[in-house]
Structure 1
Amino acid sequence: MKTVKSTTKFLAYVFCLSAVMYNCKTKDVDSLTPFTYTFKGLDAKLPAITATVPVSVSVTASTITSSTAAAAVSSGLANLSTTGVVPAAVKQAATDVGKVISPTDAAILLAKFTPDVIATLATSGGLSATLKAQLALFDSNPALQAYLPTFTLPTVNGKNVGGRLGDVNGINVVATIATAKATLDDDVCKAAANSAYNAALAVLKVAQTSQTATVTSTYTQLETGISAESIPCKAGIPAKYSALRAGAQQTFNTGLDNLETNKVLLGVVNYTMLKLLYLAAINDANDVFTTLQNAETTACNTVGTTKLTNAKTARDTDLNKINSNYNSAAASLTAGLTQAINSCHNQGNGG
């Protein structure tokens, strides 16, 4: 009987012990609930930018205005054979030349203009340095300005081509600042903070790269278009001035023919003075055409250079914005990382 009671007590004891052990095991498993770390300040977004439009370039073409006084002289000489009367405009022109040079000196100067010299002057504008300098005195004298064409140079952004254009300063692109990561301990909380930081920084970098590629692509397209504009801009210039030279040569040759035809009616002095006026006029016209042709060609180049400078400035402005935004966002992430590490002890890190 004693043995039965002892056995019963032993079995009861084993059962109770098993129950206790089972309850403890279940409780331990239930307590291993996964812990999720949350951090404020470890998310960031790179703001979109509005593309900067390059500053436009204003251009005005060159102009040439023919002389009404010279036209009146040519018309008067053309009709002289018919009327037999020297028009007032023709007499006045001879008088105005006399304000620059005496009849004697005029005859001496005119003798230097042989038929070959005159032909060269009319066709190519070529003259010896001495003769060119002497005719330049006529071209620059106020008394004869009314008989010469007037002109304006082409302008780019309101400035004559050949003058100094205002400098367009580009904006230095801000270099992306490398964001230093904090040195982390090997605990779970800090590792989670570092992982969140790296993920957010990677998102920023992807956005920065994408925005930079867009800005660069836009600039490349503009650059290609600007370069392509130069050829058609300059293509028609030589033909334009060839036509103007041909017209001036025709007027010059017709005027000399009329002078020779009406030499007796004009008299020696008037004939000499008027022939020098025609020589000075064709010399001036050749110089004006050369000046304007070179200026218009330069203007095409200047427009392209200015447009390209403005496009670079717009590009650099946008790249500067992108990098500035990235640096600001990355700095915020770094501050958020520091804050997260400092708060790790409050998120189940045993503190």
Structure 2
Amino acid sequence: MKKRYASLFAYSLLATLTLYNCKDHETPPPIPDFNNELSGITVETVTIAPPAPVTTQPATFTAPTNTTISSYSGGAPTAAMQSTATTVSNTLSTSEVSAVNAITPAQLDAIANGGTLPSELQTALDKIKGNAGLTSFLASFSLPTVNGTVVNGRTGLPESIEKVMGTQADDACVKAAQDALANVINKLKADAKTQQDKVDADYQKQVADAATAETSCKAGIPANYTTLRTNTKTQFSGILANLDANQAALGSFYGLLKALVTVQYGSTLAAINSLEKADLAACTQKKEATIANANAAKAANTGKVTEALNKGLKTASDKIAELVKACHNQGGGK
């Protein structure tokens, strides 16, 4: 609640109490039991709403589905292999094929360790992606999402009322009204604080849980992708070794098929790298989204508590203004 509201409330009530400050009673009227009259005024219990949930979709990875080359067991190339080699020849220039085949195992290991694709491999990959007849040789994947947004991995309760200033009046009835008002204000503020403490505690737990969830989320990711890289390296190293061992039998198809497998290998490693970064980033983004939702819920719940407190204060103000009329000297002389 705003201090402006609190000040207006305090000063308005002060004027009311002063107005009814009795003077020179011959026989003072009985003082009402203000505390009893105000005892039923409370801060309504609000329903604390939880934060909105954060929705996520995990990353997916699918190894190349075309087994034309990976199923080759040696000897003369199959018709499917010959057709594939011809498609590669129509997609990449002779110099591009040579450049890809000049890539060393050390360069491929560098990719596996998180490095980027060599420019010659990236050029060949872009062209192969553009040929529908070769895309089945490439791994496919989808990046994770947080609240529908794709993650790519690139990287307390306000003071409710000012202290009511006491009048200088010595009228016992008005003084009793002032004391009763102070008591109910303190009670309402205490009630509201109890509810606000629950709002704050829920928020702190939500933030702590989000941080714990992030740590847990990230814990197994590196090992999972290390395993995927190891399996990829074993698979493609074996395919390349098989092609090398059958180079004579493959003849002119050898260089084209080897270039395609090298692009497969390098692009698969690059996809794995991208997915690992994205998965780690998604863990952090989920935490941040969770905390943002917790902040929004805290603000909304604090608003509810504040509104309930203001309502209680307004009720107390109206009630005391009505009751204090009994302090007025009705018929007593000065």
Sequence identity (%): 26
Structure 1 residue 305 and structure 2 residue 288: aligned? yes
- Helix, strand or coil for the counterpart of 1:51? coil
Give matches, 1:1-351, under 5 Å.
Answer: 35-38=30-33, 42-43=38-39, 44-69=41-66, 71-75=67-71, 77-78=72-73, 80-81=74-75, 84=76, 86-102=77-93, 104-110=94-100, 112-113=102-103, 115=104, 117=106, 120=109, 123-124=112-113, 126=115, 129-143=118-132, 144-162=134-152, 175-178=158-161, 181=164, 184=167, 185-268=169-252, 270-345=253-328
Alpha-carbon distance between aligned partners in 1 of 2:277 and 2:130, rounded to the nearest angstrom: 25
- CA distance 1:230–1:96, shift in 2 (3 Å): same
Check the 8 A contact 1:61/1:153 in 2, yes or no: yes
Paired residues, number: 304
- Identify if the C-alpha distance between structure 1 residues 89 and 343 changes in structure 2 by more than 3 Å, giving closer, same or farther: farther
Contact 1:154 1:160 in 2 (8 A): yes
SS at match of 1:324: helix
Structure of larger gyration radius? 1
Contact 1:161 1:299 in 2 (8 A): yes
CA shift for structure 1 position 105 = 2.4
Alpha-carbon shift at residue 36 of structure 1 (Å): 3.5
For the residue of structure 1 that corresponds to 2:46, the secondary structure is: coil
Counterpart AA for 1:287: A
Show structure 1 runs of 5+ residues with no match.
1-31, 164-172
- The 8 Å contact of residues 29 and 329 in structure 2, kept in 1 or not, is answered as no
Task: Supply the distance in 2 between the matched residues of 1:217 and 1:181 (Cα, whole angstroms).
Answer: 30
Counterpart-to-counterpart distance in 2, 1:132 and 1:148: 13
Shift of 1:41: 7.0
**How far, CA to CA, are the matches of 1:180 and 1:348 in structure 2?**
34
In structure 1, give the amino acid aligned to 2:231: G
Q: What is the Cα deviation at residue 120 of structure 1?
A: 3.8
**CA distance in 2: counterparts of 1:127 and 1:223, whole angstroms:** 36
Give the CA deviation at 1:202: 1.5
Deviations 1:121-168 (A, max 9, x none): 5754657753344334345323432210110111112221149xxxxx
Structure 2 residue runs without a partner (length 5+): 1-26
Structure 2 counterpart of 1:73, which letter?
I
Shift of residue 100 of structure 1? 1.5
Q: CA deviation at 1:177?
A: 4.2
Contact 1:45 1:329 in 2 (8 A): yes
Q: Partners in 2 of 1:182 and 1:237 — Cα distance?
A: 62
Which structure has more RCO (C-alpha within 8 Å, separation ≥ 6)?
A: 2
Q: What is the aligned-residue RMSD (CA, Å)?
A: 3.1
Q: Return the offset for 1:335.
A: 2.8
**TM-score normalised by L of structure 1:** 0.76
Q: How many Å separate the matches in 1 of 2:331 and 2:152? A: 75
- Displacement of 1:294 after TM fit? 0.4
Change (3 A) 1:243 1:128: closer
Higher share in helix: 1
Compared CA separation, residues 350 and 287, structure 1 to 2 (3 A): farther
SS at structure 1 position matched to 2:141: strand
Alpha-carbon spacing, 1:350–1:344, altered in 2? closer, same or farther (3 Å): farther
Q: CA deviation at 1:349?
A: 7.0
